[in-house]
Amino acid sequence: MEIVPSILSANFAHLAKDIKKVENSINYLHIDIMDGQFVENLSFGPMIVSAIRPLTDLKFECHLMVLNPEKYLIKLKEAGANVIGVHVESTAHIHRVIDAIHRLGMEAEIVLNPGTPIALIEPLLDEVESILVMTVDPGAGGQKMIKKCLKKVLTLSELRDMNDYNYRIEIDGGVNKDTIQNAQSMGVDRAVAGSYVFKSDNPSERIATLMKECQKDES
């Protein structure tokens, strides 16, 4: 299991400090980009991504909660994004968006809302590096995990085995020390964690706790 901290719950006045606190325990940082339309909140845009790019060598996974995601791809590439997550519900042309992300040299991740079935993305499963299963309705940190969304993880894991697909399976929302073990047993490869990691005096200790919970499951 790999933990991917979401800076949505970090201290925006001290982002550099908060990134340093987790940097040594992880490879990816999750950046939630919200436009106030696809979801109600507004958060970061390419300008913030570019401002924090020089602070760290971590890979940036940008989770786009925006309408018309295609509008932001070039700017995010220029800002230093490595992975782009696109909600299948946010565009009528998901295949074209995935293609554009790849042509820009980034990894593509399809994101599914809790109410969206896997059937909708089945034709694209062999085209992406990652699938992000939302385990809360997107738009805010600190929500409770909707556990039944984990059934999709199980299905994605079976489909991957049956068809030799290569995507990683990631979840986002409500990940903490009480929920991560169950998620891992369903086949999650990566878990985004926001409030559990950053609403703490010791974020790296929180990451270590999540990892430890997962190891318990393996033993």
**What is the token pair recorded at 128?**
């992406």
Judged by beta carbon, residue 44 or residue 196, the one nearer ligand DX5 is 196
Q: Rule CB under 6 A: say whether 136 interacts with ligand DX5.
A: yes
Provide the mask over 27-46, with x wherever binding to ligand DX5 is found by CB under 6 A and - wherever it is not: ---x-x--------------
Q: Which of 138, 169, 190, 213 binds ligand DX5 (CB under 6 A)?
A: 138
Shortest gap between Cβ of 80 and ligand DX5 (angstroms)?
Answer: 19
From the list 18-26, 44-52, 165-173, 202-210, the region that binds Zn ion by CB under 5 A is: 165-173
Shortest gap between Cβ of 78 and Zn ion (angstroms)?
Answer: 21
**What is the token pair recorded at 22?**
């987790």
Q: Which helix (H) or strand (E) holds 157?
A: helix 150-163
Q: What angle do CA 149, 139, 209 make, to 5 degrees?
A: 60
Shortest gap between Cβ of 24 and ligand DX5 (angstroms)?
Answer: 20
Up-side HSE of residue 177: CA atoms within 13 Å toward CB?
Answer: 11
Q: Rule CB under 6 A: say whether 179 interacts with ligand DX5.
A: no
Strand partners, 19: none
From the list 14-22, 72-80, 120-128, 138-146, the region that binds ligand DX5 by CB under 6 A is: 138-146
Q: Is 113 exposed, middle or buried (0-12, 13-18, 19+ CB in 10 A)?
A: middle
Closest alpha carbon to 85 in 5, 158, 143, 170: 170
Q: Which of 22, 58, 192, 207 binds ligand DX5 (CB under 6 A)?
A: 192
Strand partners, 30: 6, 61
Q: Rule CB under 5 A: say whether 206 interacts with Zn ion.
A: no
Shortest gap between Cβ of 30 and Zn ion (angstroms)?
Answer: 6
Choose among Zn ion, ligand DX5, none what residue 66 binds, the Cβ cut-off being 5 to 8 Å by kind: none
Give the span between the Cα atoms of 177 and 10, in whole angstroms. Answer: 18
Task: Report residue 58 CA to chain centroid gap.
Answer: 14
Judged by beta carbon, residue 6 or residue 90, the one nearer ligand DX5 is 6
**What is the token pair recorded at 68?**
């018309």
Give the span between the Cα atoms of 175 and 136, in whole angstroms. Answer: 10
From the list 3-11, 14-22, 46-54, 163-171, the region that binds ligand DX5 by CB under 6 A is: 3-11
Please tell me whether residue 1 adopts helix, strand or coil conformation. Answer: coil
Contact residues for ligand DX5 (CB under 6 A)?
A: 6, 8-9, 30, 32, 63, 136, 138-143, 172-175, 192-196
